[in-house]
Structure formats: structure tokens, C-alpha cells
Amino acid sequence: MSKNHVVIAHYKYLDDIVAAIAAMKARGVKDFRTFSPFPSHELEEAVYADAPRSPVRFFTLIGALTGCLAAVLMTSFMSVDYPLRVSAKPLLSYPAFSVIMFECTVLFGGIVTLLAMFHFSRIPNVAFWADYRPNFSEGTFGLTVRATEGDAKAIQAELEKSGAQRVEVEYVR
């Protein structure tokens, strides 16, 4: 059976939603997500306890190294291609070029970090999210679970017992 239902639970308390996540995991439910108005280490720990860390950092490293390398190549090539011979200074003046290398490292690293963050966070995405509620950006924590019609009722009952202020079930395609 397809998971064409979503159970949406609204929580006022952080410890309640953390306990509810543990209960869902114990039940073997994997298809869930949480919403919060601000980042919370506790929530992240509860959801991603066993998951590897965000891969954004690898892209930051790749972007930074690319920027540095690009600056080395650019300054070297341009200084040799159009030689400015001044006071017997070496054409390849790397101490002077290090400023350009630093700036390009930061520039490329920053841009690639943003792109990686957008990619992994699945944004930009202005599509309608069936399991999102506007109060999740105010002061309410949300836990939403995709389930089959049969499971949805049982999950709803369990989440109601876990301290949720409100639990709704919605049909989604």
C-alpha cells in the first residue's frame, strides 16, 4: 500500500517532540520529518543520532581549494603573459599574490557553501508542502509522518498520547 497519508503533530514542548521521535524510531517508522522555528541541537540529535554530519563541509573545502588554485594559476599566468619588470622584482611574486589567493579562497568557498546548502536543503522550492503548517515558524514544533491509511490511525493515536497539542491526518497524493 502506498503511503498516501500524512500525520501532522503539533508540539509545544521540546522534550515531548524529542520523546515522540524516539517512539517513532522504536516503532520502525523512518519516513518522518520535524519542523522547528529555530535550529535545535536536541532535535537534530534526536533525528540524526546515527547519521553522518552534513556534507556541506566537503563542498566548502572543495570550493576553497578551487578558489586558491584558481588564484595561483591566474596570478602566475597573467604575470608571465604580460611581464611587468619593475626594479628587478621577480615576475612571480607569490608573497604579494598571497592576498589574491586568500581572497579567492574565501570567495569560492563561500559561494560553493551557499550552493551546497541550497542543494542539500532542497531550496529554492516554492511548491506547496502538504505537511507544513504556518505555526511551525512561530513557536510550535512539528512532527510529520508519512504512512499508509491503516498505519496513520495507529500513529495518530500514539502521537496524541506523546503530548502533542493537536494531531491531524491528511490525505496526500
Q: How far is the CB of 159 from another protein (least distance, A)?
A: 15
User: Which residue type sits at 79?
Assistant: S
Q: How far is the CB of 144 from another protein (least distance, A)?
A: 9
Query: CA–CA separation, 91 vs 133, rounded Å?
Result: 61
Residue appearing with cell numbers 536543503: 121
Query: CA–CA separation, 148 vs 156, rounded Å?
Result: 12
Instruction: From 2-10, 90-98, 145-153, 164-172, give the range in contact with another protein by CB under 8 A.
Output: 90-98
Q: Report whether 65 contacts 113 (CB < 8 A).
A: no
Considering only 22, 49, 89, 157, the residue that binds another protein (CB under 8 A) is 89
12 lies in the binding site for another protein (CB under 8 A): yes
Instruction: From 1-9, 44-52, 150-158, 165-173, give the range in contact with another protein by CB under 8 A.
Output: 44-52
Q: Report helix, strand and coil shares of the chain as percent, to nearest 5.
A: 55, 15, 35
The x, y and z cell numbers of residue 162, run together, are 506523546
146 lies in the binding site for another protein (CB under 8 A): no
Q: How many residues bind another protein (CB under 8 A)?
A: 66
44 lies in the binding site for another protein (CB under 8 A): yes
Q: How far is the CB of 120 from another protein (least distance, A)?
A: 4
